[in-house]
Amino acid sequence: MSKELFEAMAQSIIDGEEEDAVELAQQAIEQGVDPLDAINQGFVVGLDEVGAQFGCGEMFLPDLVLAAESMKAAMSVLEPELTKRGAARQVLGTVVIGTVEGDIHDIGKTLVATMLSASGFKVYDLGVDVSLQTFVDKASEVEANLIGLSALLTTTMVKQKTLIESLEEAGLRSKVKVMVGGAPVTRSWAEEIGADGYSEDAIGAVSVAKGLVGAQR
C-alpha cells in the first residue's frame, strides 16, 4: 500500500504536478503514514530523479522549478504534522539556521529546521541566500548555541568555511557551535573547515545538534 503511495508521490514530483503532490501528502496523513517516510521514501525520491535527469541534460530548469514547487506544496501539508508529532517541549537549545549566501535551495534546510524545532530546539530560520554577517548578528542577538549552515552548490559550500573564519575574527567561535550540511557537503569537508558537526540528513542533524549542545541523545 505504502509502496504504491510512495511511487505515486515520487511521480508527482517528476511530473511537477503540484495538486497531485498535495493530495498524496494528505492521503499519507489520513492513512497514518509517518510524514518523514512520505518525504524521504516518496517525494525526495522524485526530486532526486529530477536532479539526476537535470544533471545529465534530460530535464531543464523549468522542470526543476516545477518539481521544487510541487515538493514545497507537499511539504506544506507534511511539515505541520511533523511539528505536531514532536511532543517534547523542553527547550534543548537555540539554533540559528539558513542557506548560505548565493544559494537559494531551501527544501532540505527547512526540513532540518522543522525537525530541530519538533525535537525541542528554539529555531530561528533565516531563510535562503543569507549573508554571513546576518548569521553572526542573529547568533549574537539570540545567544544561539548553534549555527546551522546549509549549502547545495559546490560553489556556495565554501561560505561555510568563511562563516567559521568570520566567527573567529569576531571572537565568537568559542561561544557557538557550527553544524554544516547539504548535498555536496561531506564529513571530511566539515572536518577540513573546522565545523563542530555534520549530518547528511535531517534525522541525523537532530542527533548531532543534541550532542553539540550537550543535551541527551
Summarize as ranges the residues that interact with ligand B1M (CB under 6 A).
44, 47-48, 50-51, 54-55, 61, 64-65, 67-68, 97, 102-109, 111-112, 148-150, 152-154, 179-184, 199, 201-202, 205
Q: Report, in Å, the least distance between residue 190 CB and ligand B1M.
A: 10
Q: Report, in Å, the least distance between residue 172 CB and ligand B1M.
A: 17
Handedness of CA 24, 25, 26, 27 (dihedral sign): positive
Report the C-alpha dihedral over residues 169, 136, 129, 150, rounded to 10 degrees: 90
Report the residue closest to ligand B1M, judged by CB.
Answer: 108
Per-residue CA distances from 141 to 131, 165, 217 (Å): 15, 19, 27
C-alpha cell at 145: 548555541
Q: Which is nearer to ligand B1M, 1 or 206 (CB)?
A: 206
Residue 177 forms beta bridges with which residues? 146
Q: Which is nearer to ligand B1M, 54 or 194 (CB)?
A: 54
Q: Report, in Å, the least distance between residue 202 CB and ligand B1M.
A: 4
Among 138, 153, 39, 141, residue whose Cα is nearest residue 97: 138
Q: Which is nearer to ligand B1M, 31 or 207 (CB)?
A: 207
Question: In a 3-state reduction of DSSP, which class is residue 57?
Answer: coil
Q: Report, in Å, the least distance between residue 6 CB and ligand B1M.
A: 15
